[in-house]
Amino acid sequence: MAILRTDIERALDEIASQEEGMRFQGLAVVLGKMRWPELIARQRKKDFGLDAYAPQSLTLEKIGKGLAASITPALRKISSDAKTAKENFPDLKTLLFVTPAKVGNADRKLWEEAVRKDHGLELHIIEREEIITLLMMPENASLRASFLHLDIDVEPHVAGIIERTKRAADAVTLAWAGKTKGHPLIDLTAVRLDPNGAETADVLSLEQIDQALSQSRRIVLEGAAGCGKTTTLIQLAQRARTAGISFIVELPSWTSSHRGILEYIAGMPAFQAEGLTPEDLARAQQSEPFLLLLNGWNEIAQSNSAQANDALRELERALPSAGIIVATRTHYLKPPLPGALLLRLLRLRPAQRTAYLTARLGVQSTELRARIAADSSLDSLTRTPFVLAEVASLFEAGAEIPSTKVGVLSEVLRLQEQREEHRNALQLVPIFGLQTDYMKALATEMVRRGAVALPEADARTVVAAIARELANRGQIESAGAPAVLAMLTAHHVLERVDYPQTAFQFEHQQLQEYYAALDVRAQLLGLQDTDRAGTRRFMADYVNEPAWAEPLRMIAETFAEQTGDGGTDKRSTCAGGKLVEMALVVDPIFAGELAQLCGAAVWNEVRAAVGERFRAAYASRENNYRQYVLAAMLATGADDFSDIIVPLLSGQDLQARLGTYRLWPGVQVSSLGPNWREQVRCWSEEARADFVSELLHHHADDEVAAFAAEDNSIAVKNAAALSLTAPNESQGWTGRAQGASPG
């Protein structure tokens, strides 16, 4: 049945009666961008009077433009927004006010004159009649579905295109879901970040993220390595919804193709199989909301970063009604989605981990949960979904479960190579059991480029070079690169992709980084104390390059393991000390993080140098830099700086306390010293509540939970309980940068 004017009127009235200002604000911004495409949506809290803004540098008229929306219009409301906006946006000259209520000609004229006189702004109004007219247009049918929850009624030809598009999109999602190997998926949660990247009190569920996406929001979803970014996109794509088509897109592949987004999607095999063209997708997009799930901003090669930046900017402007989410590790280059909702995936809570293991292992999960509970390192590692899944795989295979990420990955890969269907093939022509040599070389080249895939020609070049080297050493017979690549993709963790060009990548970026870490670790261990030139090269090539941050973390972790062999442990301690000292020159926070990962033996070697550098820098009068160094102190997890940290966490200044906790995600009790319980018991009730809330939010530490349980304060117990349980759905949301700090 066709959508009637009265349907739209009732929907607008419902928004007003239900006081859903945030939903209407989203619609207002989309309608405003249709008139002024240069408008940039702003955060829905503390917007300083504007819901969207375009600085004069972005407008043809060279004047600032702003948009404000309200479901209850009045001159007082407009005047208040105008006053606040002028104070915060000095170049503002034109204000667009959007409301679902009627505004008569007399009121319009009065408001325009008052705003011009009192605030020097030219006022434009989009009121009920214009909104209804816009939403009645066929090309805006998707907005009716997204914001007014009205069924889409389209002509049969377009309906057929939409149906084929949905089938193709579902096929793509199914292929992505295959990466999860049929294992249970965890509904992760994310914390909202403020514009400066600091965590707020708002925690969003998967459902709430989907709701924001369905309302044409732009979202940047950050997360550490293996924390579930790709899985979250898959879950969003799989969600049942009354309207909307989800497209999962590999961001590096799309941006390197130099194609528009619809052209790129139409070129995917699943869409070609349905006979869909870019023009067909454009027609479908006018009637059905599009949700673009873009994966891997941080995986874009540096050589392609400018093209990627331009492509994403153009996408944001070209499809104002589409929901867009970009998944990325924390990265020094931010996705160009101004006004985006910034989210960071939270680590798994104990209840989430238990639910996953129970769903996957059944009654056998009890044994693995006990193993995890008995090992604090393994407990911390398995709060990352990727590692948890691999640990469960090792348990299912009856294999040893190491307590380090590198150890887990090494054991997983060993099992892969020993499987009956792979073992003999890897020992024969053309691999000859030397698969690690090829995998290290491929991984190292990918990381060096800041990419997660190598074009086929480049992959052949890398493999051919290793084959020649092995042949010259008498290790193998001559082997062709195509045969080697074919064998590795058939029997190992290398994958071949054929769109938009033939290339090779690892099954997961963490596996790529593992192999690259093996190569670089050997170089680090080989560095001589007297080789200053070699040290400078290593620092420039690896420590100062953002792409190497995660492999270096893996390397640092290996130095914490004591083998019992005096010579081996001494070399590891020496290499770990070198690594921390090199990082100290480049980035104090990264140095602190590496020092913590390297373990006690390395810390004993470097604590004097690190402590001296940090304390001298903290003595600086520049507050921002002091905060930066304080984050580095917290990253070490050492109690060497407790004389600085404890007063900040125990003081009466709430902002100082919370600001300190949130400088580093995951403050550890070890930073307070061995007698932390006695110290914290003497703090005020408010400071103790903040302590258990912040630490349990990131660690779910049994000792901190026990401390809270013993506390006499109900407020402290409640703070602990809230942090240990799943986030309250009603809390909701309202409307390293690598290379400089750890990623």
Nearest to 287 by CA among 241, 245, 238, 236: 245
Beta strands in 526-649 (DSSP E): none
- Tell me if 149 is assigned to some domain: no
Spatial separation of the C-alpha atoms in residues 551 and 535, rounded to whole Å? 18
Task: Residue 40: name the closest of 49, 26, 51 by CA.
Answer: 51
Look at residue 737 and tell me whether its pLDDT is greater than 60: no
Band of pLDDT at residue 152, cut at 50, 70 and 90? low
Q: Is the pLDDT of residue 37 over 60?
A: yes
**For position 333, what pLDDT does the model report?**
78
Please report, to the nearest 10 degrees, the dihedral formed by the alpha carbons of residues 681, 683, 685, 686 taken in order: -140
* Token pair recorded at residue 515: 């192999």
In this prediction, residue 4 carries a pLDDT of: 83
Domain that holds residue 703: 637-735
Kindly list the distances between the CA atom of residue 601 and the CA atoms of 239, 574, 615, in Å, as whole numbers in the listed order.
Answer: 48, 9, 21
CA atoms of 328 and 312, how far apart (whole Å):
14
What is the predicted pLDDT for the residue at 47? 63
Mean pLDDT of the chain: 91
Per-residue pLDDT at 741 exceeds 70: no
Nearest CA to 582 among 523, 525, 537?
A: 537
Given this model, what pLDDT does residue 571 score?
96
Q: Cα separation of 247 and 265, whole Å?
A: 8
| Residue at 555 is within a domain | no
One domain for residues 476 and 370: no
pLDDT mean over 5-29: 89
Q: How confident is the model at residue 153 (pLDDT cuts 50, 70, 90)?
A: low
**240 and 185, same domain (yes or no):** yes
547 domain residue, yes or no: no
Of 306-310, 493-497, 581-585, 634-638, the range with the lowest mean pLDDT is: 306-310
Read off the DSSP letter of residue 729: T
Mark residue 197 as left, alpha or beta (left: phi above 0; alpha: psi -120 to 50; beta: remaining): left
Q: Are 255 and 304 in contact (CB under 8 A)?
A: yes
Total domains present in the chain = 5
CATH (domain of 223):
3.40.50.300
- Residue 331 has a pLDDT of 76
Which of helix, strand or coil describes residue 700?
coil
Residue 192 dihedral angles phi and psi, to the nearest 5°: -75, 140
pLDDT tens digits along 227-266: 999 999 999 999 988 889 999 999 999 999 999 999 999 9
Residues 409 and 396 in one domain: no
Beta bridge partners of 344: 191, 222
The secondary structure element, H or E, covering residue 95 is strand 92-98
Q: What average pLDDT does range 267-282 have in this prediction?
A: 97
Q: Quick check: 555 pLDDT over 90? A: yes
* Predicted local confidence at residue 743, as pLDDT: 31
- pLDDT for residue 728 is more than 70: no
Tokens for 240? 């049942």
Q: What is the DSSP letter of 278?
A: H
159 φ/ψ angles, rounded to the nearest 5 degrees:
-60, -40
Rounded Cα–Cα distance for residues 212 and 48 (Å): 21
In a domain, 539, yes or no: no
CA angle 451, 456, 462 (to 5 degrees): 75
Q: Is the pLDDT of residue 576 over 70?
A: yes
How far apart, in whole angstroms, are the C-alpha atoms of residue 81 and residue 227? 40
Task: Report whether 501 contacts 455 (CB < 8 A).
Answer: yes
pLDDT confidence of residue 317: 86
Asked if 376 and 441 sit in the same domain, the reply is no
Amino acid (1-letter code) at residue 22: M
My answer on whether 328 and 379 are in the same domain is no
Same domain flag for 17 and 120? yes
User: Would you give the end-to-end CA distance of the chain in angstroms?
Assistant: 52
pLDDT the model gives residue 662: 86
**CATH number reported for the structural domain that contains residue 506 in this entry:** 1.10.10
- At residue 302, does pLDDT exceed 70? yes
pLDDT at 22: 85
Q: Which of 277, 311, 345 is the last residue of a domain?
A: 345
160 plus 292 within the same structural domain: yes
Q: Do residue 11 and residue 68 come from a single domain?
A: yes
Least confident of 150-154, 211-215, 660-664: 150-154
Q: What is the pLDDT of residue 739?
A: 34
The answer to whether position 596 is within a domain reads no
- pLDDT higher than 80, residue 731: no
Query: Same structural domain for residues 40 and 186?
Result: no
Give residue 475's pLDDT: 93
Compute CA 35 distance to the chain's CA centroid, rounded to the nearest angstrom. Answer: 32
Q: Are 292 and 344 in contact (CB under 8 A)?
A: no
Q: Which of 109-118, 260-269, 297-306, 582-591 has the lowest mean pLDDT?
A: 297-306
Give the domain-ending residue among 490, 511, 532: 511
Global pTM reads 0.86
Look up residue 707 and give its two tokens: 């401390």
- Other C-beta atoms within 10 Å of 726: how many? 14
Quote the tokens at residue 5.
């004017």
Tokens of 661: 């906790």
Task: List pLDDT tens digits, range 401-427.
Answer: 999 999 999 999 999 999 999 999 999
Query: Of how many residues is the chain composed?
Result: 743
- Distance of CA 182 to CAs 151, 174, 398, Å? 33, 11, 20
Query: Which residues are bridge partners to 52 per DSSP?
Result: 41, 67
49-68: per-residue pLDDT in tens?
Answer: 899 999 998 888 889 999 99
Distance CA 484, CA 446 (A): 17
What is the average per-residue pLDDT within 604-617?
96
What is the reported pLDDT for 200?
83
- H runs (alpha helix) in 137-180: 141-148, 156-177
Residues 46 and 123 in one domain: yes
Average pLDDT for 532-541: 96
Domain assignment present for 319 = yes
* pLDDT tier, 577 (very low <50, low <70, confident <90, very high otherwise): very high
CA distance 414 to 423: 10
pLDDT, tens only, 668-711 = 999 999 999 999 999 999 999 999 998 887 766 788 999 999 99
- Work out the average pLDDT over 214-233: 94
Using pLDDT thresholds of 50, 70 and 90, give the confidence band for residue 524.
Answer: very high
CA-closest candidate to residue 135, choices 7, 322, 325: 7
233 alpha carbon, distance to own chain's centre: 11
User: In this structure, are 428 and 505 located in the same domain?
Assistant: yes
The answer, yes or no, to whether residue 439 has pLDDT greater than 60, is yes
Amino acid at 728: N
Contact 560, 597 (CB under 8 A): yes
Looking at the structure, do residues 294 and 310 belong to the same domain, yes or no?
A: yes
Q: Kindly state whether residue 731 falls inside one of the protein's structural domains.
A: yes
β-pairing, 218-222 vs 323-328, is parallel
Give the rounded percent of residues in the chain with a pLDDT score beyond 70. 96
Give yes or no for residue 740 having a pLDDT over 70.
no
Please report whether residue 265 resides in a domain.
yes
Q: What is the CA radius of gyration of the chain?
A: 28
Beta bridge partners of 193: 199
Per-residue pLDDT, averaged over 87-102, amounts to: 94
Alpha carbon separation from 65 to 50, 52, 59, 254, 492 (Å, rounded) = 10, 8, 8, 32, 55
Specify the range with the lowest mean pLDDT, choosing from 25-34, 573-582, 617-626.
Answer: 617-626
For residue 738, CA distances in Å to 329, 374, 586, 592 come to 9, 33, 11, 14
Helix axes 435-449, 509-526, angle to 10 degrees: 100
Query: Residue 201: pLDDT band by 50, 70, 90 thresholds?
Result: confident
Q: Pick the last residue of a domain from 89, 104, 136.
A: 136
Please determine, for residue 516, whether its predicted confidence score (pLDDT) is greater than 70: yes
Decide: 100 and 75 in contact? Cβ < 8 Å: no
